[in-house]
Amino acid sequence: MKFKFWGVRGSIPSPGPKTARYGGNTTCIEVRSDAGKLIILDGGTGIFALAQALLRELPVEANIFITHSHWDHIQGLPFFIPLFIPGNSVRLHGAFDPVSGNGIEKVMAVQLQYSYFPVREAEMKAAIEYETLSIGQPVEVGDAVVTNTLLNHPVIDFGYRIECNGKSMFFTGDHEPYYNIYDPDDADYAEYQALIDEKQASVDAAMRGVDALIVDSSYTREEYPSKKGWGHGTFDGAIAMALRVGAKHLYCTHHEPTRSDDELEAVFADLMQRHTPLPQGLQVHLAYEGLEVVL
């Protein structure tokens, strides 16, 4: 199994000379099983470059797994060129929205409203299917199995574990580590802490022992207090997570869009200096567009 980053920025695309090394596209990861089955994690703007690369291997059979419906994770879907080509097949997987009552098909329908996009879904020539997933539902994609886990974000957000022939990876999408909303001396503190401890244990179990852990690391520990509740994690929190679950490799992604490449490298260098030496067996990487990893 192998994977490749096509988009590593969070919140909004941030192209330009200051982000050229790591890339300005929003979240998209290509995964290939040992048998070559194509799994795509999220459809941010990075999916457009992936689509262009896929034109060399028509017909395309793609399974796209959406972590959640915020724009930076879906805004590239209408520009996924294989959707417009007869003979291709695309299956879109994602969560049920308890607010609207809609399934994952609504993600595409909203973007393809004629007020916002000139091409209707009926004009797309590929075979398009939708699968709204229940929590914890495994999906077989050829020789790989994709299993979702509910994570912590302002909307329903699925993290995905992918397993193939003894290798495994986990992608969080957007995730903020659980925290207690009550003060320690509040009467509700203990009960709420027990609830989040249970949730954390479930998430840790889903990530346990993966070869590659890909984590939302938007903020520094200094930035986080003013961003608390926004649904994103920190670099330090990502390392703590990787150590807790016994991951072999940690990939920090969903980079803050206002952070230049130079600033990103400086933040990462400070992080590694504070956490060196890492326990034996863990390696930490800063994700960039074009980075390809073979497990």
pTM metric for this prediction: 0.96
Edge-first strand order for the sheet with 167-171 is 138-141, 144-150, 158-164, 167-171, 212-216, 249-253, 283-286
H or E segment and range at residue 250: strand 249-253
- pLDDT for 281 equals 82
Q: Which residues pair with 61 in a beta bridge?
A: 89
Pairwise CA distance, residues 256 & 108, whole Å: 26
User: Where exactly are the structural domains of the chain?
Assistant: 2-294
- For the domain with range 2-294, which CATH number is right: 3.60.15.10, 3.90.230.10, 3.30.70.20, 3.40.630.10? 3.60.15.10
Express each pLDDT in 132-147 by its tens digit: 999 999 999 999 999 9
Tokens for 11?
């919140």
Q: Which of 192, 268, 293, 278 is nearest to 240 (CA)?
A: 278
Per DSSP, which regions of 25-134 are E strands? 28-32, 38-41, 61-65, 89-95, 127-133
Name residues whose C-beta falls within 8 Å of residue 231's C-beta, 6 or more positions apart in sequence: 152, 153, 154, 157, 174, 175, 176
Express each pLDDT in 137-190 by its tens digit: 999 999 999 999 999 999 899 999 999 999 999 999 999 999 999 999 999 999
H or E segment and range at residue 52: helix 46-54
Name residues whose C-beta falls within 8 Å of residue 152's C-beta, 6 or more positions apart in sequence: 175, 176, 177, 178, 199, 231
- pLDDT for 25 equals 98
Q: Hey, CA dihedral for 224, 225, 226, 232, is it positive or negative?
A: positive
- pLDDT for 279 equals 82
- Asked if residue 169 lies in contact with residue 161, where contact means CB atoms within 8 angstroms, the answer is yes
277 preceded by a cis bond (ω within 30 of 0): yes
- pLDDT for 78 equals 94
Q: How deeply is 235 buried, as exposed, middle or buried, from its count of CB atoms within 10 A (0-12, 13-18, 19+)? A: buried
pLDDT beneath 50: ranges in the chain: none
- Asked if residue 63 lies in contact with residue 39, where contact means CB atoms within 8 angstroms, the answer is yes
- pLDDT for 120 equals 83
